[in-house]
Amino acid sequence: MSQYWINMLFVGASFLLYIGIAVWARAGSTKEFYVAGGGVHPVTNGMATAADWMSAASFISMAGIIASGGYATSVYLMGWTGGYVLLAMLLAPYLRKFGKFTVPDFIGDRFYSRSARLVAVICLILISVTYVIGQMSG
């Protein structure tokens, strides 16, 4: 068997495995999709949030700003960390209270405005694209 067909076999088997996992683990509701049906322990969820904060984009940007500006710019690291924690603490309870899973849904329902929801979606897309560019570069 040639190398080409061996590669095709492994790629095909990988795709079949992923499709099988997707069918087996299919979410039956929005709550199951976004928050795993509430079955994730809070400590594990906190560790996942911390891992998101400690991503390549965060490390590269913070290391770069401290390297270029010196020790005095470490205040940005404190602001970045404090802002992340503050945002999570101030926003998460209201998302849960309103029964929403995304910030645009929460903002749209909270302010009874499709325009506010649209602005939130646009901001979310811009922030996400910027973040993903940093992640992929890292």
Task: Give per-residue pLDDT as tens, 71-108.
Answer: 888 888 888 888 888 888 888 888 888 888 888 999 99
Q: 20 and 34 in one domain?
A: yes
- Whether 119 and 70 share a structural domain: yes
Both tokens of 51, joined, read 């891992």
Model confidence at 16: pLDDT above 90: yes
Query: Is the model's pLDDT at 31 over the cut of 80?
Result: no
Q: Is residue 14 pLDDT above 80, yes or no?
A: yes
Token code pair at residue 15: 């795709």
* Same domain as 83, residue 71: yes
> In which band, very low, low, confident or very high, does the pLDDT at 138 lie, cut at 50, 70 and 90?
low
Average pLDDT over residues 115-135: 88
Q: What tens digit of pLDDT does each residue of 40-79 get?
A: 888 888 888 778 777 777 778 788 888 899 888 888 888 8
Q: In this predicted model, what pLDDT tens digit does every residue of 110-120 receive, in sequence order?
A: 999 999 999 99
> Which has the closest alpha carbon to 63: 52, 53, 73, 49?
73
**Residue 15, pLDDT score:** 94
Segments forming the whole domain that contains residue 33: 1-39
pLDDT over threshold 70, residue 109: yes
Q: Are residues 129 and 87 in the same domain?
A: yes
pTM of the model: 0.59
- Closest by CA to 102, choosing from 35, 55, 39, 48, is 35
Question: Do 45 and 34 have their domain in common?
Answer: no
> For position 6, what pLDDT does the model report?
93
The pLDDT value recorded for residue 108 is 92
H-type helices in the chain, by residue range? 3-24, 30-35, 42-53, 56-69, 74-98, 103-110, 114-137
Q: Which two tokens stand for residue 45?
A: 């969820």
Q: 110 and 71, same structural domain?
A: yes
45 and 4 part of one domain: no
Whether 16 and 76 share a structural domain: no
Give the type of residue at 79.
Answer: G
